[in-house]
């Protein structure tokens, strides 16, 4: 059993509360990403789960064992938790095999080292020194070291932050595949939305010491629990509207709501990929104010006629096509949107 359950976790440093009643459940064999801005408490949560810090209140249970509770603190070395830190933190004087096998019983060290190095795609790298490896290879060695003792839980603390963009995506896929093959339960701490959404089975958005929402990536993106989650996870066009049951009137025309709402004012979140750009007359009149090309897609920035000051962006696949700055166009919204009533 390697399910992770966190209930009511609180932690303060003097008068500053870092964790404020954190609840999180990670099913056995799944990867959860704790996503949040710097200072939101995600690293403190990871350190308490690992046993490096103690909580003021609340409980941490790993499998059937309570490892943290007021009056109970199982030390890190007895928790069966593997940690993959930032930048690998390998021992520079040991070979790859020496790093991976560090702390393992001698009788099973050789076979287990070979097994986990193959698992992370580094079969035959045992004799090499850390300085002979690329950054991505060092991170895979760090993962192999964490997996070698067959832990109940693997914690990854922003493990890809030091890698360049191209390498980061490839290493993410390798690490995710290795964790799946090992059947490991894992928690990834990150501030990178793309990283969390692409890797995790469950994404927990953390804000000011609380879990604002924990859900599968698709649900989190398409049905955010509140406006804060909606604007933090992915690009969002936020509009003031007046709802009336299953629809709302907005500057982008009538919108279909994801869930029926009581009539009244509020705000909606429209994702840029829901906004189509067409010829004048095929929707709400607008003018192109700029384009931003990202390689795989592009954002077309727009100003709605009669609604200056409302930022609107439409996402197109590939390079911007058929539009230029200053062009008169028309926009439409495709699909339902999330509505949040006014407080």
pLDDT in tens, 300-318: 999 999 887 888 999 988 8
221 in the Ramachandran plot: left (φ > 0), alpha (ψ -120 to 50) or beta?
alpha
Asked whether residue 111 is domain-assigned, the answer is no
Question: For position 1, what pLDDT does the model report?
Answer: 63
Residue 17, in any domain of the structure: yes
303's CB contacts (< 8 A; 6+ apart) are: 286, 287, 289, 310, 312
Helix, strand or coil for residue 232?
A: helix
**Same-domain status, 205 and 332:** no
Whether 170 maps to a domain, the answer reads yes
333 and 205 share one domain = no
- In a shared domain, residues 183 and 299: no
Task: Please check whether residue 195 lies inside any domain of the structure.
Answer: yes
Task: Say which CATH number the domain at 198 has.
Answer: 3.40.50.300
Q: What is the pLDDT of residue 110?
A: 86
How far from chain centre, in Å, is Cα 213? 12
Domain that holds residue 185: 4-80+151-231
Query: Using the 8-state DSSP alphabet, how is residue 51 labeled?
Result: T
Q: What is the mean pLDDT of the chain?
A: 92
Q: Quick check: is 223 in a domain?
A: yes
- Residues above pLDDT 70, as percent of the chain: 100
Single residue among 231, 254, 287 that ends a domain in this structure: 231
Q: How many domains does the chain have?
A: 2
Task: Tell me which of 18-27, 158-167, 238-247 is least confident.
Answer: 158-167
Task: Please compute the mean of the pLDDT values over residues 88-113 and round it to a whole number.
Answer: 89
- With respect to residue 302, please indicate whether it lies within any of the assigned structural domains: yes
Residue 101 lies in a domain: no
Residues 207, 337 within the same domain: no
| Helices and strands in the chain: count of H runs, count of E runs | 8, 19
Do 249 and 174 belong to one domain? no
Residues 66, 215, single domain; the answer is: yes
Relative to beta strand 4-13, strand 81-84 is: unpaired
State how far Cα 335 lies from the chain centre. Answer: 25
Q: Please say which residue of 208, 231, 254 terminates a domain.
A: 231
Tell which of 231, 251, 282 closes a domain. Answer: 231
Average pLDDT over residues 271-292: 94
129 inside domain: no
For residue 269, the model assigns a pLDDT of 96
169 has a pLDDT exceeding 90:
no
Please spell the DSSP secondary structure of 32-57, one letter per residue: EEEE--TTSSHHHHHHHHHTSS--SE
pLDDT at 66 over 90: yes
Contacts of 183 (CB under 8 A, 6+ apart): 29
């Amino acid at each position: 059993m390697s399910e992770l359950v966190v209930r009511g976790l609180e932690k303060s440093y003097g008068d500053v509360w870092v964790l404020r009643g954190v609840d999180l459940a990670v099913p056995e064999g799944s990867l959860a990403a704790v996503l949040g801005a710097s200072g939101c408490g995600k690293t403190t949560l990871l350190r308490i789960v690992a046993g490096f810090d103690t909580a003021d209140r609340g409980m941490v249970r790993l499998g059937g064992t309570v490892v943290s509770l007021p009056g109970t603190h199982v030390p890190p070395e007895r928790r069966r938790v593997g940690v993959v830190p930032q930048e690998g933190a390998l021992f520079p004087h040991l070979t790859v095999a020496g790093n991976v096998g560090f702390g393992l019983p001698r009788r099973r060290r050789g076979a287990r080292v070979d097994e986990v190095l193959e698992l992370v795609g580094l079969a035959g790298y045992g004799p090499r020194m850390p300085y002979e490896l690329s950054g991505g290879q060092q991170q895979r060695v760090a993962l192999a070291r964490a997996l070698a003792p067959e832990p109940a839980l693997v914690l990854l603390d922003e493990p890809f932050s030091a890698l360049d963009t191209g390498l980061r995506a490839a290493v993410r896929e390798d690490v995710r595949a290795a964790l799946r093959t090992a059947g490991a339960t894992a928690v990834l701490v990150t501030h990178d939305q793309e990283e969390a959404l692409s890797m995790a089975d469950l994404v927990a958005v953390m804000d000011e010491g609380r879990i604002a929402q924990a859900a599968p990536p698709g649900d989190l993106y398409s049905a955010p629990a509140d406006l804060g989650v909606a604007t933090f996870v992915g690009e969002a066009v936020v509009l003031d509207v007046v709802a009336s049951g299953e629809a709302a009137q907005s500057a982008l025309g009538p919108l279909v709501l994801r869930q029926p709402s009581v009539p009244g004012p509020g705000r909606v979140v429209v994702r840029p990929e829901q906004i189509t750009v067409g010829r004048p007359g095929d929707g709400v009149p607008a003018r192109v104010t700029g384009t931003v090309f990202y390689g795989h897609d592009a954002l077309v920035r727009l100003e709605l006629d009669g609604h200056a000051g409302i930022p609107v962006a439409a996402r197109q696949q590939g390079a911007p096509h058929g539009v230029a700055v200053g062009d008169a166009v028309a926009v439409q919204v495709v699909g339902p949107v999330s509505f949040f009533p006014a407080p």
